[in-house]
Amino acid sequence: MQIAKYSIGIDLGTTNTLLAFAEMRVDQPRVDVLSIPQVVAPGQIESLESLPSFVYLPSDSDISGGMLAMPGRTAKEPVVGSYARQISAEQPDRVVAAAKSWLCHHQVDRHAAILPWNASKEVAKISPVEASRLILQHVVAAWSAAFPAAPLAEQYVTLTVPASFDMAARELTREAAISAGLPEDFVLLEEPQAAVYHWLNRKGDLWRRELTEGDLLLVVDVGGGTTDLTLVRVTQESGELVLRRLAVGNHLLVGGDNMDLTLAHFAATKFAEKGTKLNAWQAVSLWHACRKAKESLLSASDKKTESISVLGRGSKLIGGTVTVDIGRDEVHRLLADGFFAPSSLDDRPARDAASGFQELGLPFEVDSAITRHIAAFLSDNHEPNQSSALATHVLLNGGVFKSALLREKLADVLASWHTANERPKLLGGVDDLDRAVACGAAFYGWSKHHGGIRIRGGTARSYYLGVETAGLAIPGIPRPLQALCVVPFAMEEGTELDVPGREVGLVVGRQVRFRFFASANRKNDKVGTTLRDWDETELQETAPMELTFSAEETPQEGYVPVRFHSRVSELGVFELWCNSTKDDQRWKLEFNVREDS
């Protein structure tokens, strides 16, 4: 195979998307971020380093006006980027936001046109997969315009996904990416790992001085809408240091946007105390003002208070401006203590037990304290042969950590779990918090080609097929379900396994459907292990797997005895096959990401 000219890393974020690239055939990789031309206002296009992951569905008048078109994109097509984000508050009915969080939400049909969620009927909605495709397509077009001689489909492309994405969400991301023009053999890389690769690139060979055998590295990646946790163990194999990804956290829907909103609510009550009533437009402005003020409020300064202003509307800017003073210590209490609450290692995130009814929508976290989620994550992944579950090193990622105060706050809580004279060491700086993932992904592609260090890990979860037990049917009572482990934890990329155990008869001519489960903490189950009962917190149901026989395959008996065979490709693609035990026939099970009927 011909070597690609460039290694490209794409960070498809919940709120921002970036593309970084490095030339493949050089000894010292130089990673650059591509500027992405996008509509910033009707009739105005600007090249910006990041593409906000927002999709605006144009109205009829937008289309006839033609002012949202771009070279290479007609006015009819949805508008991706800065302008879409800008008007998301004014026109929530026409803007798709956080499509990525919907991709891993297994209670909805991710191929169905459901976004913007709750939008009115006049809007032609799109699916989470389509929204992701549109965002990626925009990035691909930007690349093609900048590098017409090096088509993206011929480059080595790495796309990042949250470590917490399950197999089905990864498969959907792959589908969106390939239809957007990524090469068939692109690689999916977990975001926290990409952040580690970026750190490795910045350190060069010196990283071996910072990490030694036995160290445990915790990666905390707080994005706009999500928080992603990963543990990496440093081990030694034949004299070489090896990085092994031990565990990844669950998908946590809490992030920087929650902090902005919290601050905005707090400021709004301050306005109310002063007797200033904010209208809807001012409330949106306040949110933006808080986003901007957050950084200065959370930086170290001697100033006791900081003012937050909402500018007057119309051309009466000065006259209409309203201001409140917010105390620095109040904000610290609110954000630092709210999101990085002092807690003990035994604390667990609060679960919502009060309400049995929840509106379908994104399952936002009930407990916003990231520290409690970290405590649970570390305790759940305590390796039996290790004396401590605690991390020796911490790598922070995400724009939230530009604030030195939040970095210190989190470091303090983590340190409080250690004995007095120990303290986890913070790795990395604050320079590239927004682009580390994209740059790390581009470096990963280069590094893979040049035989550099790789983080090993295999699958982040173990996976189970739900198999109904045989036995007499009792009316009204479903047959007991057993969970058959088909992918053990940490199954390496590029390996395949026969699933031992009894044969399963597939009824031909009908659709075959298996419920499918994932577990982040059952690490000792082997392939073929059968669970008879389990705790709901242990096994999480994801999209079911299905198979439909074509007619010519129908054997006379009416059913085919099969055994399962699982495979994880070099690229991290998971496949589950049903191999006939009678002949060489085999069929592949596919995820069904549509709603349960």
Contact positions toward other proteins, by CB under 8 A? 5, 20-21, 23, 26-35, 37, 40-49, 67, 69-71, 145-148, 279-281, 289, 292, 307, 309, 311-312, 314-319, 321, 323, 432, 435, 439
On the question of a cis peptide bond just before residue 116, with omega within 30 degrees of 0, the verdict is yes
Count of positions (residues) in the chain: 597
Q: How far is the CB of 466 from other proteins (least distance, A)?
A: 47
| Amino acid code (one letter) for 390 | L
Residue 418 vs residues 68, 122, 344, 422, 500: alpha-carbon distances, Å: 55, 57, 10, 6, 43
Which CB, 79 or 486, lies closer to other proteins?
Answer: 79
Which CB, 237 or 325, lies closer to other proteins?
Answer: 325
DSSP string, 103-130: HT-TTS-TTS--BSTT--TTS--B-HHH
Which CB, 172 or 264, lies closer to other proteins?
Answer: 264
Q: How far is the CB of 250 from other proteins (least distance, A)?
A: 31
Q: How far is the CB of 218 from other proteins (least distance, A)?
A: 24
Q: How far is the CB of 78 from other proteins (least distance, A)?
A: 17
Which CB, 33 or 177, lies closer to other proteins?
Answer: 33
Nearest CA to 436 out of 255, 241, 220 is that of 220
SS (H, E, C) 537-568: CCCEEEEEEEEECCHHHCCCCCEEEEEEEEEE
Query: Strands 586-591 and 574-580: what pairing?
Result: antiparallel
Token duo for residue 66: 């033609």
- Sign of the Cα torsion 445, 446, 448, 453 reads negative
Query: Strands 156-161 and 187-190: what pairing?
Result: parallel
The residues, ordered by sequence, that sit 6+ positions from 385 with a Cβ below 8 Å of its Cβ are none
Q: How far is the CB of 396 from other proteins (least distance, A)?
A: 18
Q: How far is the CB of 246 from other proteins (least distance, A)?
A: 29
DSSP string, 358-387: --SS----S---HHHHHHHHHHHT--TTSS
Nearest CA to 592 out of 534, 530, 548, 528 is that of 548
Which CB, 47 or 269, lies closer to other proteins?
Answer: 47
Give the three-class secondary structure for 87: coil
Q: How far is the CB of 180 from other proteins (least distance, A)?
A: 19
**Distance between CA atoms of 307 and 513, rounded to whole angstroms?**
59
Which CB, 309 or 416, lies closer to other proteins?
Answer: 309
Which CB, 20 or 400, lies closer to other proteins?
Answer: 20
Q: How far is the CB of 290 from other proteins (least distance, A)?
A: 12
| Amino acid code (one letter) for 149 | A
- Which residues is 274 bridged to in the sheet? none
Helices (H) and strands (E) in the chain, counts: 14, 29
Nearest CA to 288 out of 302, 304, 319, 267 is that of 267
Q: Are 487 and 529 in contact (CB under 8 A)?
A: no
Token duo for residue 182: 């990524």
Which CB, 70 or 568, lies closer to other proteins?
Answer: 70
Q: How far is the CB of 116 from other proteins (least distance, A)?
A: 16
Q: How far is the CB of 26 from other proteins (least distance, A)?
A: 5
E-assigned strands of 209-310?
A: 216-222, 227-237, 240-248, 305-310
182-218 in b/e burial notation, b at 16+ Cβ within 10 A? bbeebbbbbbbbbbbbbbbbbeeeebeeebeeebbbb
Q: How far is the CB of 52 from other proteins (least distance, A)?
A: 14
Which CB, 75 or 113, lies closer to other proteins?
Answer: 75
Which CB, 71 or 476, lies closer to other proteins?
Answer: 71
Which CB, 49 or 383, lies closer to other proteins?
Answer: 49
Q: How far is the CB of 140 from other proteins (least distance, A)?
A: 14
Which CB, 25 or 502, lies closer to other proteins?
Answer: 25
E-assigned strands of 333-480?
A: 393-397, 425-427, 455-456, 462-468
Which CB, 277 or 333, lies closer to other proteins?
Answer: 277
Q: How far is the CB of 231 from other proteins (least distance, A)?
A: 27
